[in-house]
Structure 1
């Protein structure tokens, strides 16, 4: 066996810590979706909530968490490497002040323009009496979430750069806890005062956003950071962040345009279409968060540091190892979600107001979303690499290519497949995006070790064949168990997943995938110490 690479070990350790925290968050996120499914099912109220929440989420990705996080980590890592501690903390204080003010102004503008925003995003809602009005009310309640979550992203960037990964990753669990406990409580209380129950869940979103920010503050304090109110717009560090954010925001605007297009089409596909797409994508986000996001968060500070020190060969090793880990973790998840979509949806969501017809529609959607899972997660790895080497225009180009492809595919398939056309288009455009980004990055970095990556991918696909065989055989007995007692449903589904996962892991170990051997070594080491 090859000696353990320090880069691979560092990424693996950080990603494992983040993965555990993200797993907690995603599981709580599923509980949150279960609450929605049980209380509201798939239809009028939840359709309205999804679109209303999408508006601050669009703005969050556009101005806050996405573009801001990538740009801030790049500049903050450089300050942390090259500048004094006092200068580094001054930058952090100034960034927090600037974005607290700027995003608050955006929120006020959004509240004022909520009605036209809803009409623009979901014109089909106007065909159902009261649906647009409810969505406007929920939008106004949830818009301040943008400020909380964006400031939480800045704090996360500081902690990650300083090597603190667990607390920022677990912080989103507190968002889900606030949403579940606060939202559910208010959903039962508010109707007594004449407000719709779904408004309680909207208030829960605000509570969750505040908790996600607040839970990170003690860790920041222990690092020695003391916030000093200041707003210096001409500060070179702030200007660098804003300069980096411009192409990132433009690139993300294309992604948000895709979401806008998809939401608009879904809102016109009839009652429940928005809900089915959202429930399915929430499930697909579990492996994306566990693998793509966890590896991206672990990799970004390391990649930024390597770029700052001009260690190109180490950057290539970081990229190849990270992509291999993404493929090794997401491809089996893809096959699992395709084969087991119906029993998974039935077990998690088919309770209360969520019907068997909702299960079938959501399961079909999930299977199509799963096809692009590996590409979606890999893009989370590729995009930060372009920021690290200061080639930010390429993710922008890729995003606009994705918009064009998305529009073409949806328009060609929407009449025949309805909401399923949106899930299909999302997967296809993510795969095309991945191919484009990998090709350009290979050229810009003067050649990635693609031969090694392809060799690793072949081993992963070979192991996936054995996993698929287990899942295919399980298909013969699972349908008969779906109508049985819930304990038998849970046992049979988990037994299938464990057997398939075990088979996959054993195959990869004997095929000699270095990243798998590293994970096995770490796991066995923990058991021995225990």
Structure 2
């Protein structure tokens, strides 16, 4: 238990560092390119290859962890690892080549309103991302090994390396290469991340080099993996659909939406990924031990911990969203007008972040049960809903309707997933979930009151935006900590009980 606690703390710290570096990457891009056609083209171009990257990166880990743990229990973990690494490399290589060729055709057809310069950037950005895919899948398999062994921080570190290379490439090469420097950095970072794993394991221990691929074993694995991967792709597919719609609203709109989505998604990326990553091996092991009660409780604890972290964060963000956008982006080519438009779009993404954070926990339940195909069908339905809501909301709200569509789709997606999982596990403990949710919501009311009062304090408003937001976060965090203690929120009480021991 103590080692798990240390691993959890390391994961949280490393995840914070990953998101901090990701924010710096977005900050650097905003500084040099603002909301110009270069950023529009880059965001539009990377969305499709990034869907395949997420398919391999996140989907592979979600499918591989339970599979690897089963084989490891039988003493065949290294053999299984070898089969999946070799097959995945060849599959990713084929997709990389085909995707690079297809970029010359699908990108100009998808964005006919783009200028020739934007189309050129888009095509070659897509190619560089597709080339990265050849190693992304292999990286994901080894990161799955780290997560399965509770070495979460090393897995996150290897992903951070990719982001850092993207930042350095953009800073050092943007004068020479312009927008191409961003995608080149991602390619170099992916290579560096792989080489770190080679050094860590040592080449001779990386896999069983002479072992031939067991095709039957690979087929069994991919039958589980493909539905999981497709489900992971759904979010990117919905973003792709939104960008297709956004392209018709003129230059800068794709950038406003993308900057807003990335910024608002930070709580989801930190809390959602951290909590989901920690509980996943635990609920898989509970199933392997045939302990259904521990499996069910693990998911419930994950949901309540997620709510405990997410709700007050969104409350603070709702009052100070403009400050957050200013701190993150407003410098260089990113001006005050871009801040206002990005802030406006940000509010409509709040529902998306809230619901998809909960869905990240629920999805682990499906993957643990080997029911990835069920959640995949729900995900495919969400794409249809997204198109319908995009057509509807943009008529009344303009491009902001695309962000609102993501939030509404997130609600339906999560609600359906919750109902389906509830049936599969013969019912959650609803009394516990309702009681904890109520306590968390009530405990967040004092935070809301504090934010409302702080908004009218002139001395605070006169501070620099960074100082003001720092004070707001400290006050909000302290108020929430006291409030959760008073209302005996389970997550806080568990932490306190462990400290007393």
Indicate how the Cα distance of structure 1 residues 160 and 102 shifts in structure 2: closer, same or farther if over 3 A, else same. same
Residue 518 in structure 1 maps to residue 501 in structure 2: no
**Counterpart Cα distance in 2 of 1:251 and 1:479:** 48
Indicate how the Cα distance of structure 1 residues 50 and 309 shifts in structure 2: closer, same or farther if over 3 A, else same. same
1:458 positional shift: 0.5
TM-score of the aligned structures, taking structure 2 as reference length: 0.94
Q: In structure 1, what is the equivalent of residue 105 of structure 2?
A: 116
Indicate how the Cα distance of structure 1 residues 119 and 231 shifts in structure 2: closer, same or farther if over 3 A, else same. farther
Q: Which runs of 5+ in 1 are unaligned?
A: 1-5, 191-195, 526-530
**Counterpart Cα distance in 2 of 1:61 and 1:391:** 19
Residue 204 in structure 1 maps to residue 191 in structure 2: no
1:37 positional shift: 0.8
Which residue of 307, 316, 338 maps to 1:358? 338
Alignment of structure 1 residues 125-164 onto 2, 5 Å: 125=114, 128-164=115-151
Which residue of 211, 214, 232 maps to 2:195? 214
Between 129-138 and 379-388, report the one with greater CA deviation: 129-138
- The one-character-per-residue Cα deviations of 1:189-217 (angstroms, maximum 9, x if unpaired) are x2xxxxx4111222111122223333344
Alignment of structure 1 residues 389-428 onto 2, 5 Å: 389-428=369-408
Q: In structure 2, what is the equivalent of residue 74 of structure 1?
A: 66
**Counterpart Cα distance in 1 of 2:471 and 2:265:** 22
Q: In structure 1, what is the equivalent of residue 15 of structure 2?
A: 22
**Counterpart Cα distance in 2 of 1:225 and 1:71:** 23
Between 471-480 and 393-402, report the one with greater CA deviation: 471-480
- The one-character-per-residue Cα deviations of 1:483-508 (angstroms, maximum 9, x if unpaired) are x67xx221111001110111111111
Residue 301 in structure 1 maps to residue 301 in structure 2: no
| Aligned residues of 1:98 and 1:231 also touching (Cα < 8 A) | no
| Aligned residues of 1:337 and 1:370 also touching (Cα < 8 A) | no
1:97 positional shift: 1.2
Alignment of structure 1 residues 303-322 onto 2, 5 Å: 303-322=283-302
Q: In structure 1, what is the equivalent of residue 466 of structure 2?
A: 490
Q: CA RMSD in A?
A: 2.3
Residue 369 in structure 1 maps to residue 349 in structure 2: yes
Alignment of structure 1 residues 173-184 onto 2, 5 Å: 173-184=160-171
**Counterpart Cα distance in 2 of 1:447 and 1:456:** 17
**Counterpart Cα distance in 1 of 2:215 and 2:33:** 48
**Counterpart Cα distance in 1 of 2:154 and 2:236:** 28
**Counterpart Cα distance in 2 of 1:321 and 1:11:** 16
Q: In structure 2, what is the equivalent of residue 462 of structure 1?
A: 442
- The one-character-per-residue Cα deviations of 1:302-350 (angstroms, maximum 9, x if unpaired) are 2222222221011011011011111111111222222111011012211
- The one-character-per-residue Cα deviations of 1:330-385 (angstroms, maximum 9, x if unpaired) are 11122222211101101221101001111011111111112332211111111121
Equivalent pairs counted in the alignment come to: 501
Q: Which runs of 5+ in 2 are unaligned?
A: none
| 1:144 partner SS | helix
**Counterpart Cα distance in 1 of 2:387 and 2:457:** 40
**Counterpart Cα distance in 2 of 1:298 and 1:382:** 13
**Counterpart Cα distance in 2 of 1:46 and 1:471:** 34
**Counterpart Cα distance in 2 of 1:248 and 1:50:** 25
**Counterpart Cα distance in 2 of 1:465 and 1:79:** 48
**Counterpart Cα distance in 2 of 1:75 and 1:405:** 32
**Counterpart Cα distance in 1 of 2:77 and 2:337:** 55
